[in-house]
């Protein structure tokens, strides 16, 4: 299956997910206890004033009509206007998106670098104290929820060693150093679980790959350990780690919402939370849908990476999970004989 067909399959799966997510979010917000008219007009508002405002907001129309109208506008790039601020939702999302992407992006980088380094070290030093330490650390970190790690980091760097900010956000264009300092703690809190998963998957796959005839033959030909690792072992063993990364990407993006709450960062998560507390339906819908789109795009990119490294996956357009992933490609008999 070519990459283009794979992308089409991914897009075909994304449309129902987006539609279902929009429908569920719309229904939840529609049946929420918060009544925007009561908040906007205050407790002294008359029933006539509440009815008039609901008419202006379109809340007196049938739910199916309201949902259809929102979908029609969203397809054209119009996510509506906040009922409370009067600011277009897309404008607010554009302002807040860099915060969420900064946290999730840095967490992803930390997870890949830390997880890959630990997994490679554990595999190359199999059964050593390094291997046992990595295994213990990965098992421990995998059980710690990001919000627990966040609180621990705040206590450590906000109280015991107060040299990093534990709240607020500095845009990159204003101060790159301040930007990094403002997102490093939430990024670390989000990255540890993903790093642990990547390390475990990569360690297991590399150990198996080093027992394959492909690597044994490379050793017999006198290739350097670095070339064996990066040219032969890693390309064949990275499939499970990439699959684990694909599962972790939505968690990183979703976890950024919690991190924004804990570290008081003005991202999409805080925007969605404030909107939900006020019953601001357009804000909630816009934030959720944009987040889902980012998750779907990230998942598609990971799928394409798996496809490039494991051509056998082209016959199966479904997502590969760590348990299903092939740890190492079996070398054909003709290739083995040539080694």
Worst-scoring range by mean pLDDT, 130-139, 149-158, 190-199, 315-324? 315-324
The pLDDT tens digits for 215-238 are 888 888 888 888 888 888 888 888
* pLDDT reported for residue 325: 38
| Over residues 129-139, mean pLDDT | 91
Spatial contact of 123 and 201, defined as CB atoms under 8 Å apart: no
6 — pLDDT class (breaks 50, 70, 90) = low
In DSSP terms, 88 is beta-bridged to: 81
Cβ burial, residue 200 (10 Å; 0-12/13-18/19+): buried
Spatial contact of 290 and 93, defined as CB atoms under 8 Å apart: yes
330 — pLDDT class (breaks 50, 70, 90) = very low
* pLDDT reported for residue 274: 83
For the chain, the helix, strand and coil percentages under 3-state DSSP, each to the nearest 5:
75, 0, 25
* pLDDT reported for residue 312: 52
* pLDDT reported for residue 33: 66
Tokens coding 247: 């599962």
Q: Is the pLDDT of residue 327 over 70?
A: no
92 compared with 327, residue with greater pLDDT = 92
The pLDDT tens digits for 8-26 are 776 777 788 888 888 888 8
* pLDDT reported for residue 7: 67
* pLDDT reported for residue 121: 92
Spatial contact of 181 and 300, defined as CB atoms under 8 Å apart: no
User: Which of 267, 268, 198, 276 minimizes the C-alpha distance to 238?
Assistant: 198
* pLDDT reported for residue 309: 66
DSSP-derived letter for residue 283 is H
| 158-188 exposure pattern, b = at least 16 Cβ within 10 A, e = fewer | beeeeeebbeebbeeeeeeeebeebbbbbbb
User: Which of 217, 259, 263, 255 minimizes the C-alpha distance to 236?
Assistant: 217
What pTM, to 2 d.p., does this model score?
Answer: 0.77
In DSSP terms, 81 is beta-bridged to: 88
What CATH superfamily classification does 3-32+79-338 receive? Answer: MetI-like (1.10.3720.10)
Worst-scoring range by mean pLDDT, 44-58, 144-158, 312-326? 312-326
Spatial contact of 118 and 195, defined as CB atoms under 8 Å apart: yes
110 — pLDDT class (breaks 50, 70, 90) = very high
Q: Is the pLDDT of residue 278 over 70?
A: yes
321 — pLDDT class (breaks 50, 70, 90) = very low
User: Which of 272, 276, 319 minimizes the C-alpha distance to 298?
Assistant: 319
Separation of CA 21 from chain center: 16
CA distances to 95, 105, 205, 212, 215 from 209, in Å: 46, 30, 6, 5, 7
* pLDDT reported for residue 65: 87
Break the chain into its structural domains and give their ranges: 3-32+79-338
| Over residues 258-271, mean pLDDT | 84
Quote the percentage of the chain above a pLDDT of 90: 12
């Amino acid at each position: 299956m070519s990459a283009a067909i794979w992308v089409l399959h991914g897009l075909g799966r994304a449309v129902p997910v987006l539609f279902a997510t929009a429908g569920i979010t719309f229904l939840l917000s529609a049946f929420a206890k918060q009544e925007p008219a009561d908040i906007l007009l205050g407790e002294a508002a008359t029933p006539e004033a509440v009815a008039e405002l609901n008419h202006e907001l379109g809340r007196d129309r049938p739910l199916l009509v309201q949902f259809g109208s929102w979908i029609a506008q969203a397809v054209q790039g119009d996510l509506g206007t906040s009922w409370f601020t009067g600011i277009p939702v897309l404008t607010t999302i554009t302002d807040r998106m860099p915060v969420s992407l900064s946290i999730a992006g840095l967490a992803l980088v930390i997870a890949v670098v830390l997880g890959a380094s630990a997994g490679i070290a554990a595999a190359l030093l199999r059964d050593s104290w390094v291997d046992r330490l990595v295994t213990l650390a990965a098992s421990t970190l995998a059980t710690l929820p990001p919000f627990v790690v966040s609180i621990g980091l705040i206590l450590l760097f906000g109280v015991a060693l107060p040299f990093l900010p534990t709240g607020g956000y500095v845009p990159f264009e204003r101060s790159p150093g301040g930007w990094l300092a403002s997102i490093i703690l939430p990024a670390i809190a989000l990255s540890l679980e993903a790093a642990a998963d990547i390390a475990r998957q990569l360690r297991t796959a590399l150990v198996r790959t080093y027992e394959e005839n492909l690597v044994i033959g490379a050793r017999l030909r006198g290739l350097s350990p670095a070339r064996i690792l990066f040219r032969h072992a890693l390309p064949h063993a990275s499939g499970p780690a990439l699959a684990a990364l694909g599962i972790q990407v939505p968690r990183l993006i979703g976890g950024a919402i919690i991190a924004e709450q804990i570290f008081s960062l003005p991202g999409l998560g805080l925007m969605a939370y404030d909107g939900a507390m006020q019953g601001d339906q357009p804000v909630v819908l816009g934030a959720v849908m944009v987040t889902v789109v980012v998750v779907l795009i990230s998942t598609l990119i990971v799928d394409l990476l798996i496809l490039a490294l494991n051509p056998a996956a082209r016959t199966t357009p479904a997502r590969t999970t760590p348990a299903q992933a092939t740890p190492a490609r079996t070398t054909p008999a003709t290739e083995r004989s040539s080694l």
